[in-house]
Amino acid sequence: MKTPFLTLILSATALMAALQLSVAQQKATIPQIKAVAWGSNRLDIFVVGTNRQLYHKAWDGSAWQPSLTGYEAQGGSFLGSPEVVAWGANRLDIFVVGTDRQLYHKAWDGNTWRPSLTDYEAQGGDFLGQPRAVAWGPNRLDIFVVGTDKQLYHKAWDGSTWHPSLTGYEDQGGAILGSPKVVTWGPKRLDIFVVGTDRQLYHKAWDGNTWRPSLTGYEAQGGTILGQPRAVAWGANRLDVFVVGTDKQLYHKAWDGSTWRPSLTDYEVLGGDFPGF
């Protein structure tokens, strides 16, 4: 009589784990508004509509374009949210995951959308969650996205070509829930934060020459986390990281240039009652 009962308990535990993972995946594909400013008094807003097309509007300093309540339709068929980055004045790069789970890219070069207003450059892959893009300098882009195998993948634009290729990616390992958070505090510096399937926070960094701790390794930073991390750099060699715990409180840690505070695996409790990012 004990065996069926034990099997039932184990089955229920597996079901709860699967449901938690499903919720995390669903949250990762709920469209969010993305906004970027490439100059003073300039805003560009992107969002995926209920028809899964991308829509855009802009504030030009005096009015909303094309109108207060109107949007420029940019085509496509997408899951979740776009990622938008500006590496210079009057420049925009947009990355989105299609319903076929490939990554797609388009760019505003100051005069026109490339490859066109409603077309996209297919960049391959088989992805889950949202892409993250960052520019640590002019004409430089680094893209990170989690695959359906829950590993992290990376590609980069060096000003003339995509590395490792237009449709290829550098496999960075891991067992990741949701999407990464990427921040840069200076040229050739990248810090990546992800939540593992064990709900701990993990970190890796590019120091200009190599990935630390390694290409496929991560620094475990503890915690029991709900949702995705948020990180910001307000100066050189400074990082502040925020997460929501499974108790729905906000937690914080910081890198001061030489050490993590309060420690590598501890967090400052900031209270609250939050559903997660």
Average confidence (pLDDT) over 50-67: 97
Q: For residue 175, what pLDDT is reported?
A: 97
Q: For residue 275, what pLDDT is reported?
A: 85
Question: Domain 29-171 in CATH: superfamily?
Answer: Fucose-specific lectin (2.120.10.70)
* % pLDDT > 70, the chain: 89
Q: Tell me: the pLDDT tens digits for 12-45?
A: 444 444 444 444 444 444 568 999 999 999 999 9
Residue entry with tokens 């590609």: 155
Element (H, E) at 223: none
* Residue 5 reports pLDDT greater than 50: no
User: In 3D, which of 90, 89, 123 has the Cα closest to residue 106?
Assistant: 123
Q: Tell me: the pLDDT tens digits for 205-218?
A: 999 999 999 999 99
Contacts of 5 (CB under 8 A, 6+ apart): none
Q: For residue 43, what pLDDT is reported?
A: 98
Which amino acid is it at 17?
A: A
Task: Give dist(CA 18, CA 248) in Å, integer.
Answer: 20
User: Is 2.40.128.190 the CATH number for 175-277?
Assistant: yes
| Residue extents of the structural domains in the chain | 29-171, 175-277
Average confidence (pLDDT) over 74-78: 97
Mean pLDDT of the chain: 91
Residue entry with tokens 């949702």: 227
Q: For residue 157, what pLDDT is reported?
A: 98
Task: Give dist(CA 148, CA 37) in Å, integer.
Answer: 32
Residue entry with tokens 């420029």: 72
Task: Give dist(CA 58, CA 90) in Å, integer.
Answer: 12
Cis preceding linkage at 213, omega within 30:
yes
* Residue 259 reports pLDDT greater than 70: yes
Q: Tell me: the pLDDT tens digits for 127-144?
A: 988 999 999 999 999 999
Q: Tell me: the pLDDT tens digits for 98-120?
A: 999 999 999 999 999 999 999 99
Q: For residue 30, what pLDDT is reported?
A: 57
Task: Give dist(CA 184, CA 190) in Å, integer.
Answer: 5
Task: Give dist(CA 122, CA 119) in Å, integer.
Answer: 9
Q: For residue 31, what pLDDT is reported?
A: 65
* Buried residues in 93-107 as b, exposed as e (16+ CB within 10 A): bbbbbbeeebbbbbb
* pTM (predicted TM-score): 0.88
Hey, what are 47's tokens? Answer: 């969002």
* Residue 1 reports pLDDT greater than 50: no
Q: For residue 18, what pLDDT is reported?
A: 45
Task: Give dist(CA 169, CA 90) in Å, integer.
Answer: 28
Phi first, then psi, for residue 2 (nearest 5°) are: -75, -35
Average confidence (pLDDT) over 247-263: 97
